[in-house]
Structure 1
Amino acid sequence: MVNITRTAVPALLSAAVGTTLVCAVPAAAAPGPAPAPASSCAAGDLDLAVGTPDPGAGQLYVPLGFTNIGDRSCTLLGHPGVSVLNADRQRIGSPADREGTASGPVTLAPGRSATAVLHTTNGPIGGPCLARGTFLAVYPPASKDEVLVKAPFQICSDRFTVGPLTA
Protein backbone atom coordinates (compact mmCIF):
# COMPACT_ATOMS: atom_id res chain seq x y z
CA MET A 1 0.00 0.00 0.00
CA VAL A 2 1.32 3.45 -0.90
CA ASN A 3 0.83 6.37 1.45
CA ILE A 4 0.55 9.72 -0.32
CA THR A 5 1.09 12.73 1.87
CA ARG A 6 -0.43 16.15 1.30
CA THR A 7 2.92 17.54 0.08
CA ALA A 8 3.45 14.65 -2.31
CA VAL A 9 0.21 15.26 -4.24
CA PRO A 10 1.36 18.46 -6.09
CA ALA A 11 4.61 16.76 -7.10
CA LEU A 12 2.78 13.71 -8.40
CA LEU A 13 0.31 15.86 -10.34
CA SER A 14 3.14 17.95 -11.82
CA ALA A 15 4.99 14.85 -12.93
CA ALA A 16 1.83 13.38 -14.41
CA VAL A 17 0.92 16.46 -16.48
CA GLY A 18 4.42 17.81 -17.15
CA THR A 19 3.67 21.28 -15.80
CA THR A 20 4.37 23.11 -12.60
CA LEU A 21 1.52 23.21 -10.17
CA VAL A 22 1.37 25.85 -7.46
CA CYS A 23 -0.89 25.25 -4.49
CA ALA A 24 -1.85 27.76 -1.88
CA VAL A 25 -2.98 26.27 1.38
CA PRO A 26 -4.48 28.73 3.84
CA ALA A 27 -2.85 28.77 7.22
CA ALA A 28 -5.04 27.26 9.87
CA ALA A 29 -6.06 29.56 12.66
CA ALA A 30 -4.48 28.73 15.95
CA PRO A 31 -6.97 26.57 17.79
CA GLY A 32 -8.38 28.24 20.85
CA PRO A 33 -9.71 26.38 23.81
CA ALA A 34 -13.06 24.84 22.97
CA PRO A 35 -15.76 25.42 25.54
CA ALA A 36 -16.14 22.38 27.74
CA PRO A 37 -19.39 20.56 27.05
CA ALA A 38 -21.78 20.42 29.97
CA SER A 39 -21.45 17.09 31.73
CA SER A 40 -24.40 14.95 32.77
CA CYS A 41 -26.20 16.22 35.85
CA ALA A 42 -25.27 14.14 38.87
CA ALA A 43 -27.95 13.37 41.44
CA GLY A 44 -26.16 15.65 43.93
CA ASP A 45 -26.42 18.58 41.48
CA LEU A 46 -30.21 18.38 41.40
CA ASP A 47 -33.06 19.39 43.66
CA LEU A 48 -36.22 17.46 42.84
CA ALA A 49 -39.74 18.63 43.55
CA VAL A 50 -43.19 17.24 42.81
CA GLY A 51 -45.50 19.81 41.26
CA THR A 52 -49.26 20.22 41.47
CA PRO A 53 -51.19 17.24 40.05
CA ASP A 54 -53.29 17.94 36.95
CA PRO A 55 -56.36 15.66 36.90
CA GLY A 56 -58.63 15.46 33.91
CA ALA A 57 -60.81 12.98 32.02
CA GLY A 58 -59.90 10.18 34.42
CA GLN A 59 -56.18 10.77 34.07
CA LEU A 60 -53.64 12.22 36.50
CA TYR A 61 -50.50 14.04 35.36
CA VAL A 62 -47.91 15.10 37.92
CA PRO A 63 -44.88 17.26 37.01
CA LEU A 64 -41.55 16.26 38.50
CA GLY A 65 -39.11 19.19 38.51
CA PHE A 66 -35.31 18.90 38.33
CA THR A 67 -33.44 22.09 39.34
CA ASN A 68 -29.67 22.45 38.95
CA ILE A 69 -28.32 23.46 42.38
CA GLY A 70 -24.70 23.02 41.28
CA ASP A 71 -22.29 25.80 40.34
CA ARG A 72 -21.93 24.87 36.65
CA SER A 73 -24.19 23.87 33.78
CA CYS A 74 -25.09 20.22 33.38
CA THR A 75 -27.11 18.19 30.90
CA LEU A 76 -30.04 15.79 31.17
CA LEU A 77 -31.09 13.55 28.28
CA GLY A 78 -34.03 11.19 28.20
CA HIS A 79 -36.25 9.87 30.95
CA PRO A 80 -35.64 9.59 34.67
CA GLY A 81 -36.22 6.28 36.39
CA VAL A 82 -39.10 6.52 38.89
CA SER A 83 -40.54 4.09 41.45
CA VAL A 84 -43.13 4.55 44.19
CA LEU A 85 -41.97 3.54 47.69
CA ASN A 86 -43.81 2.98 50.96
CA ALA A 87 -42.75 4.46 54.31
CA ASP A 88 -40.30 1.55 54.77
CA ARG A 89 -38.80 2.45 51.38
CA GLN A 90 -40.01 -0.73 49.73
CA ARG A 91 -41.18 -0.48 46.13
CA ILE A 92 -44.91 -0.52 45.40
CA GLY A 93 -45.69 -1.95 41.96
CA SER A 94 -43.40 -1.71 38.96
CA PRO A 95 -41.18 1.25 38.07
CA ALA A 96 -42.65 3.80 35.67
CA ASP A 97 -42.59 2.86 31.99
CA ARG A 98 -40.93 5.41 29.72
CA GLU A 99 -43.40 7.18 27.46
CA GLY A 100 -42.54 9.41 24.52
CA THR A 101 -39.22 10.27 22.91
CA ALA A 102 -36.65 12.77 24.12
CA SER A 103 -36.21 15.61 21.63
CA GLY A 104 -32.58 16.14 22.66
CA PRO A 105 -30.44 17.04 25.63
CA VAL A 106 -31.61 19.66 28.11
CA THR A 107 -28.77 21.82 29.43
CA LEU A 108 -29.44 23.35 32.83
CA ALA A 109 -27.51 26.43 33.90
CA PRO A 110 -27.24 26.83 37.68
CA GLY A 111 -30.70 27.59 39.08
CA ARG A 112 -32.54 26.43 35.92
CA SER A 113 -35.07 23.58 35.80
CA ALA A 114 -36.41 20.82 33.58
CA THR A 115 -39.59 18.77 34.01
CA ALA A 116 -40.67 15.18 33.43
CA VAL A 117 -44.36 14.30 33.74
CA LEU A 118 -45.64 11.27 35.66
CA HIS A 119 -48.92 9.73 34.50
CA THR A 120 -51.42 7.32 36.06
CA THR A 121 -55.21 7.15 36.11
CA ASN A 122 -57.19 9.28 38.54
CA GLY A 123 -58.65 6.40 40.52
CA PRO A 124 -59.52 2.78 39.73
CA ILE A 125 -60.54 3.17 36.09
CA GLY A 126 -60.22 -0.24 34.46
CA GLY A 127 -58.28 -1.71 37.37
CA PRO A 128 -57.54 -1.32 41.07
CA CYS A 129 -55.25 1.19 42.73
CA LEU A 130 -52.16 0.06 44.62
CA ALA A 131 -51.33 1.25 48.12
CA ARG A 132 -50.52 4.95 48.33
CA GLY A 133 -46.77 5.55 48.44
CA THR A 134 -44.83 7.86 50.73
CA PHE A 135 -41.81 8.54 48.50
CA LEU A 136 -40.78 8.59 44.89
CA ALA A 137 -37.38 7.06 44.19
CA VAL A 138 -36.02 9.03 41.24
CA TYR A 139 -32.94 8.24 39.17
CA PRO A 140 -31.86 11.14 36.95
CA PRO A 141 -30.97 10.09 33.39
CA ALA A 142 -27.45 8.57 33.16
CA SER A 143 -27.31 8.18 36.95
CA LYS A 144 -27.50 5.15 39.21
CA ASP A 145 -27.92 7.34 42.28
CA GLU A 146 -31.39 7.46 43.81
CA VAL A 147 -32.98 10.69 44.98
CA LEU A 148 -35.90 10.29 47.41
CA VAL A 149 -38.75 12.76 47.10
CA LYS A 150 -41.55 12.78 49.66
CA ALA A 151 -44.77 12.39 47.66
CA PRO A 152 -48.07 10.61 48.44
CA PHE A 153 -48.32 9.04 44.98
CA GLN A 154 -50.70 6.20 44.08
CA ILE A 155 -50.53 4.01 40.97
CA CYS A 156 -53.96 3.10 39.59
CA SER A 157 -55.24 0.83 36.81
CA ASP A 158 -51.76 -0.63 36.24
CA ARG A 159 -50.77 2.61 34.47
CA PHE A 160 -47.58 4.37 35.56
CA THR A 161 -45.43 6.21 33.03
CA VAL A 162 -42.86 8.99 32.94
CA GLY A 163 -42.23 11.30 30.01
CA PRO A 164 -38.86 12.64 28.83
CA LEU A 165 -37.27 15.67 30.44
CA THR A 166 -38.08 19.00 28.80
CA ALA A 167 -36.95 22.54 29.55
Structure 2
Amino acid sequence: MAVVALAAGAVGCKDKDSPSAVSTGSTGPAAESTAPGAPIAPGEPDPAGTATPSASAVTPATSAPATGSGPGRCTTKALSMSLKQGDTGAGQVHYRLTLVNKSSASCTLTGFPGVSLIRRDGSVIGEPAEREGAAGRTTVIKAGDSAEVTLHTLNRGIKGSGCWDRPDYLRVYPPGSREALTLANPQLLVCGDLFTTTAVSG
Protein backbone atom coordinates (compact mmCIF):
# COMPACT_ATOMS: atom_id res chain seq x y z
CA MET A 1 0.00 0.00 0.00
CA ALA A 2 1.26 3.45 -0.85
CA VAL A 3 1.44 5.79 2.12
CA VAL A 4 1.24 9.53 1.51
CA ALA A 5 2.49 12.04 4.37
CA LEU A 6 2.10 9.55 7.23
CA ALA A 7 -0.30 6.73 7.46
CA ALA A 8 -1.85 3.38 8.29
CA GLY A 9 -4.65 1.18 6.98
CA ALA A 10 -7.94 0.19 8.45
CA VAL A 11 -10.60 -2.32 7.52
CA GLY A 12 -14.17 -1.52 6.55
CA CYS A 13 -17.25 -2.15 8.60
CA LYS A 14 -17.32 -5.94 8.26
CA ASP A 15 -13.63 -6.78 8.31
CA LYS A 16 -12.73 -6.74 12.02
CA ASP A 17 -9.31 -8.42 11.90
CA SER A 18 -7.20 -6.26 9.64
CA PRO A 19 -3.74 -5.46 11.15
CA SER A 20 -2.71 -1.89 11.78
CA ALA A 21 -0.18 -0.12 9.58
CA VAL A 22 2.22 2.68 10.38
CA SER A 23 2.97 5.73 8.30
CA THR A 24 6.34 6.14 6.64
CA GLY A 25 6.62 9.90 6.28
CA SER A 26 6.52 10.23 2.49
CA THR A 27 5.04 13.35 0.93
CA GLY A 28 1.31 13.75 0.27
CA PRO A 29 -0.62 13.21 -2.99
CA ALA A 30 -0.43 15.76 -5.74
CA ALA A 31 -4.17 16.34 -5.39
CA GLU A 32 -3.72 17.67 -1.86
CA SER A 33 -1.86 20.74 -0.69
CA THR A 34 -0.18 20.40 2.71
CA ALA A 35 1.72 23.69 2.68
CA PRO A 36 1.23 25.91 5.75
CA GLY A 37 -1.81 28.11 5.25
CA ALA A 38 -3.30 25.80 2.59
CA PRO A 39 -7.10 26.22 2.46
CA ILE A 40 -9.27 23.63 4.12
CA ALA A 41 -11.96 21.93 2.05
CA PRO A 42 -15.40 23.58 2.35
CA GLY A 43 -17.14 22.40 5.52
CA GLU A 44 -13.99 20.84 6.95
CA PRO A 45 -13.58 21.29 10.74
CA ASP A 46 -11.07 23.84 11.93
CA PRO A 47 -7.99 21.73 12.84
CA ALA A 48 -7.06 24.10 15.64
CA GLY A 49 -10.35 23.46 17.43
CA THR A 50 -11.20 27.18 17.40
CA ALA A 51 -12.14 29.77 14.82
CA THR A 52 -10.24 29.26 11.55
CA PRO A 53 -7.24 31.64 11.52
CA SER A 54 -6.28 33.71 8.53
CA ALA A 55 -3.35 32.55 6.42
CA SER A 56 -1.20 35.36 7.87
CA ALA A 57 -1.83 34.09 11.40
CA VAL A 58 -0.59 30.56 10.68
CA THR A 59 2.88 29.65 11.87
CA PRO A 60 4.69 27.22 9.54
CA ALA A 61 5.21 23.81 11.16
CA THR A 62 8.73 22.40 11.09
CA SER A 63 9.38 20.23 14.14
CA ALA A 64 8.25 19.73 17.72
CA PRO A 65 9.27 23.04 19.27
CA ALA A 66 10.32 23.47 22.87
CA THR A 67 10.16 26.63 24.91
CA GLY A 68 11.52 27.63 28.27
CA SER A 69 8.05 27.29 29.80
CA GLY A 70 7.48 23.73 28.62
CA PRO A 71 7.03 21.61 25.49
CA GLY A 72 5.49 23.21 22.42
CA ARG A 73 2.70 21.97 20.19
CA CYS A 74 3.29 18.79 18.20
CA THR A 75 3.61 19.79 14.57
CA THR A 76 2.62 17.52 11.70
CA LYS A 77 6.26 16.84 10.82
CA ALA A 78 6.89 15.69 14.40
CA LEU A 79 4.16 13.03 14.17
CA SER A 80 3.44 9.72 12.54
CA MET A 81 0.12 7.89 12.74
CA SER A 82 -1.48 4.48 12.56
CA LEU A 83 -5.10 3.40 12.31
CA LYS A 84 -6.88 0.18 13.15
CA GLN A 85 -10.42 -0.94 13.83
CA GLY A 86 -11.28 -1.46 17.47
CA ASP A 87 -14.08 -3.36 19.16
CA THR A 88 -17.52 -3.37 17.57
CA GLY A 89 -20.88 -3.91 19.20
CA ALA A 90 -24.56 -3.03 18.84
CA GLY A 91 -23.88 -1.81 15.33
CA GLN A 92 -21.20 0.67 16.43
CA VAL A 93 -17.80 0.73 14.70
CA HIS A 94 -14.77 2.43 16.23
CA TYR A 95 -11.34 3.05 14.72
CA ARG A 96 -8.34 3.91 16.88
CA LEU A 97 -6.16 6.62 15.37
CA THR A 98 -2.75 6.71 17.09
CA LEU A 99 -0.43 9.72 16.82
CA VAL A 100 3.23 9.03 17.65
CA ASN A 101 5.77 11.70 18.54
CA LYS A 102 8.73 10.76 16.34
CA SER A 103 10.78 13.83 17.33
CA SER A 104 13.47 13.91 20.01
CA ALA A 105 11.56 16.27 22.32
CA SER A 106 8.26 16.21 24.18
CA CYS A 107 5.36 18.08 22.56
CA THR A 108 1.67 18.67 23.24
CA LEU A 109 -1.70 18.29 21.54
CA THR A 110 -4.97 19.84 22.68
CA GLY A 111 -8.45 19.36 21.26
CA PHE A 112 -9.82 17.75 18.14
CA PRO A 113 -8.10 16.79 14.90
CA GLY A 114 -9.65 17.58 11.52
CA VAL A 115 -10.46 14.28 9.79
CA SER A 116 -11.80 13.85 6.24
CA LEU A 117 -12.28 11.10 3.68
CA ILE A 118 -10.75 12.16 0.37
CA ARG A 119 -11.13 11.04 -3.25
CA ARG A 120 -8.16 10.76 -5.56
CA ASP A 121 -9.04 14.11 -7.12
CA GLY A 122 -8.85 15.81 -3.70
CA SER A 123 -12.59 16.23 -3.13
CA VAL A 124 -14.17 15.35 0.22
CA ILE A 125 -16.47 12.33 0.56
CA GLY A 126 -19.51 13.02 2.73
CA GLU A 127 -18.72 15.41 5.56
CA PRO A 128 -15.60 15.87 7.71
CA ALA A 129 -15.78 14.09 11.06
CA GLU A 130 -17.86 15.91 13.65
CA ARG A 131 -16.61 16.38 17.19
CA GLU A 132 -17.74 13.90 19.82
CA GLY A 133 -17.35 14.55 23.53
CA ALA A 134 -15.38 17.16 25.43
CA ALA A 135 -12.19 18.84 24.20
CA GLY A 136 -10.27 17.44 27.17
CA ARG A 137 -6.96 18.57 28.60
CA THR A 138 -3.61 19.20 26.95
CA THR A 139 -1.82 15.91 26.32
CA VAL A 140 1.97 15.89 26.67
CA ILE A 141 3.56 13.31 24.38
CA LYS A 142 7.14 12.38 25.23
CA ALA A 143 9.58 11.49 22.45
CA GLY A 144 8.58 8.07 21.10
CA ASP A 145 5.26 8.02 22.98
CA SER A 146 1.76 8.34 21.53
CA ALA A 147 -1.71 9.78 21.97
CA GLU A 148 -5.00 8.63 20.45
CA VAL A 149 -8.36 9.68 19.08
CA THR A 150 -11.35 7.48 18.30
CA LEU A 151 -13.22 7.65 15.00
CA HIS A 152 -16.83 6.46 15.26
CA THR A 153 -19.30 5.25 12.64
CA LEU A 154 -21.97 2.54 12.24
CA ASN A 155 -22.23 -0.87 10.63
CA ARG A 156 -23.91 -1.09 7.25
CA GLY A 157 -27.72 -1.07 7.42
CA ILE A 158 -28.07 0.12 11.02
CA LYS A 159 -29.87 3.36 10.13
CA GLY A 160 -30.93 2.43 6.62
CA SER A 161 -29.05 5.32 5.01
CA GLY A 162 -26.36 3.23 3.35
CA CYS A 163 -22.63 3.88 3.32
CA TRP A 164 -20.42 6.56 1.78
CA ASP A 165 -17.97 5.75 -0.99
CA ARG A 166 -14.72 4.22 0.20
CA PRO A 167 -12.02 6.91 0.29
CA ASP A 168 -8.74 6.91 -1.59
CA TYR A 169 -7.17 8.83 1.30
CA LEU A 170 -7.76 9.57 4.96
CA ARG A 171 -6.63 13.12 5.74
CA VAL A 172 -5.88 14.12 9.34
CA TYR A 173 -4.97 17.60 10.57
CA PRO A 174 -3.44 17.33 14.06
CA PRO A 175 -4.95 19.88 16.47
CA GLY A 176 -3.47 23.31 15.84
CA SER A 177 -1.89 22.42 12.49
CA ARG A 178 -2.74 23.29 8.90
CA GLU A 179 -0.50 20.57 7.49
CA ALA A 180 -2.06 17.13 7.18
CA LEU A 181 -1.05 13.54 7.67
CA THR A 182 -2.44 11.46 4.79
CA LEU A 183 -3.09 7.73 4.50
CA ALA A 184 -3.62 6.14 1.10
CA ASN A 185 -6.37 3.53 0.62
CA PRO A 186 -7.40 3.43 4.30
CA GLN A 187 -10.24 0.88 3.88
CA LEU A 188 -12.39 2.89 6.30
CA LEU A 189 -16.10 2.68 5.57
CA VAL A 190 -18.52 5.24 7.00
CA CYS A 191 -22.17 4.18 7.20
CA GLY A 192 -25.38 5.60 8.61
CA ASP A 193 -24.21 9.17 7.95
CA LEU A 194 -22.32 9.03 11.25
CA PHE A 195 -18.65 10.03 11.30
CA THR A 196 -17.19 11.54 14.47
CA THR A 197 -13.84 12.02 16.19
CA THR A 198 -12.99 12.40 19.85
CA ALA A 199 -10.38 14.84 21.14
CA VAL A 200 -6.79 13.73 21.61
CA SER A 201 -6.09 11.82 24.82
CA GLY A 202 -3.01 10.22 26.31
Determine if the alignment matches structure 1 residue 49 to structure 2 residue 82. yes
Residue number in structure 1 paired with 2:150: 117
Q: How does 1:4-153 map to 2 (within 5 A)?
A: 35-126=68-159, 127-150=161-184, 151-153=186-188
Identity %: 35
**CA separation in 2, counterparts of 1:105 and 1:54?**
26
How many residues are paired up? 134
Shift of 1:35: 4.6
SS in 2 for 1:51: strand
Partner AA of 2:177 in structure 1: S
Shift of 1:154: 1.6
Is the helix fraction higher in 1 or 2? 1
Give the root-mean-square deviation of aligned CA atoms.
1.5
Partner AA of 1:60 in structure 2: V
Could you list the per-position Cα deviations for residues 24-70 of structure 1 after superposition, in whole angstroms to 9, with x for gaps in the alignment? xxxxxxxxxx9531111000000011023322110100000000001
Normalised by the length of structure 2, the TM-score is: 0.63
Partner AA of 2:193 in structure 1: D
Could you list the per-position Cα deviations for residues 124-157 of structure 1 after superposition, in whole angstroms to 9, with x for gaps in the alignment? 3211111111321000000111110231112111
Partner AA of 1:154 in structure 2: L
Q: Which runs of 5+ in 1 are unaligned?
A: 1-33
Q: Which one has the largest radius of gyration?
A: 1
Normalised by the length of structure 1, the TM-score is: 0.76
